[in-house]
Amino acid sequence: MGMTISQKILAAHAGRDHVEPGELLNCKLDVVLGNDVTAPVAISEFKRLDLDKVFDQEKIVLVPDHFAPNKDIKSAEQCKIMRDFAGQYGIKNYFEIGQMGIEHCLLPEKGLVLPGDLIIGADSHTCTYGALGAFATGVGSTDMAAGMATGEAWFKVPEAIKFVYYGKLPEWVGGKDLILHTIGDIGVEGARYMSMEFTGEVIKNLSMDNRFTMANMAIEAGGKNGIIEPDAITLEYIRTRAKRSFTLYKSDEDAVYCEIREYDVSSLEPIVAFPHLPENTRPVSEATGITLDQVVIGSCTNGRIEDLEMAARILKGKKIHPEIRTIILPGTQQIFLEAMRRGYIEIFIEAGAAVSTPTCGPCLGGHMGILAKGEKALATTNRNFVGRMGHPESEVYLASPAVAAASAIKGKITPPWEV
């Protein structure tokens, strides 16, 4: 019996020729990731092991991005723990303020994650790297500590669901709409501890930035990982970034899936997820007119250059509604620079937006855009749980950069073709 791409990656890292769903494996890791929220706990646990070195100084990545630049004394101390640990143990891939970005935008950009890799990160959206054809998944801080010490982790081989997308994407519809539509279909537990494999003609023509968005939100359906078979688009992306060898895997023709779902996206509208779950989705035409207080464009989901390009295309020559606060966060310093070179930053500022240095900031209710009681925000982020971006009686709507930019202009949720 054949194997899926996820099974093949796990088997290779466990030294096995074949694995089946449900098996428990001990696997060697290519990358172990932590941020300023999760890494300090992992570091504390690591030090309890009384080791004088980590398993590999080049395979551990530490990124202060959640409450950084530091918003208060506690967040400063969290980042100092990471900084001191990186210095003490010679961690090669520690990214300081000015060099860092939002971790899941930064690692692919730096070529630190590659096709065929097995990656754990103490952050649930580590599944982003599946867009490259890697098996990437979030873990707890204690698993991160063990990974830093041994370079290994336990996995249960997940069952897989294949999602097939066909047709021609309408204008204004992209990866964010595809994944929100999917989550709306199967629910936030619809793929619990399963591998979500995205395929079909639409995916084969999708850009890397849009693929990252889709893989990023696999966890919002409960997925263990999201993954896309690497192809020519993948190879072009990593061509100038990869600094080490990698392996390309693809699912066998006779691989077994517990379910196959197909979507004709030819008539798909941009999607909006209503409070307070990503599964609570509706076409933008059914959300039109909901008044807003804030718009956020950015995050590890939609903070890449194509996201900023889409927002700039809509905002150019226009003004943000006077009663709307609009915050735009490029995903990395390099993305920020490229947006400057292309004139996007000037467009945003002239339109009346605030442009921030890369940070997770408002996405997790950290800083740079917290909501007050009763306020409503439209965000290109990945979660809209109760209290996610501030007061528990605030509301968050999720959408693409196109819908977000149009809504910022009108002061209410608006389809992009209406501005």
74-126 pLDDT, tens digit each = 999 999 999 999 999 999 999 999 999 999 999 999 999 999 999 999 999 99
What tokens were used for 22?
């449900």
Collapsing DSSP to helix, strand or coil, 129 comes out as helix
| Pairing of the two strands 31-35 and 60-63 | parallel
Spatial separation of the C-alpha atoms in residues 317 and 149, rounded to whole Å: 53
**CB of 16 within 8 A of CB of 27?**
no
- For the record, the structure tokens of 12 come out as 């290779």
Residue ranges matching CATH 3.30.499.10 in the chain:
5-262, 272-410
Q: H-helix or E-strand containing 194?
A: strand 194-199
Q: Is it the case that residue 1 has pLDDT exceeding 90?
A: no
Measured between alpha carbons, how far is 325 from 375 in angstroms, rounded to an integer? 11
pLDDT per position as a tens digit, 4-60: 999 999 999 999 999 999 999 999 999 999 999 999 999 999 999 999 999 999 999
pLDDT of 366: 87
CA–CA gap between residue 226 and residue 238 (Å, rounded): 19
Nearest to 90 by CA among 114, 62, 119, 118: 62
Q: Report pTM.
A: 0.94
Contacts of 28 (CB under 8 A, 6+ apart): 13, 14, 118, 151, 152
Q: Helix, strand, or coil here: 53?
A: coil
Name beta bridge partners: 24: 156
Strand stretches in 217-365, DSSP E:
225-228, 259-264, 271-273, 281-283, 294-297, 325-328, 354-355
**CATH homologous superfamily, domain 272-410:** Aconitase, domain 3 (3.30.499.10)
- The closest alpha carbon to 325, from 270, 269, 390, belongs to 390
Region 399-414: mean pLDDT is 98
Q: Which residues pair with 263 in a beta bridge?
A: 165
Task: State the alpha helices, DSSP H only, in 49-191.
Answer: 73-89, 103-109, 141-150, 175-186
The CATH code belonging to domain 5-262 is: 3.30.499.10
pLDDT above 90: residue 363: no
Q: Tell me the residue type at 174.
A: G
User: Which amino acid makes up residue 210?
Assistant: N
Give the whole-angstrom CA distance, residue 365 versus residue 363.
6
Report helix, strand or coil for 204.
helix
pLDDT at position 250 is: 97
Q: How many angstroms separate the most distant Cα atoms in the chain? A: 61
Q: Which residues pair with 271 in a beta bridge?
A: 283
Name the phi and psi angles at 32, rounded to 5. -125, 120
Categorize the per-residue pLDDT at 62 as very low, low, confident or very high, splitting at 50, 70 and 90.
very high
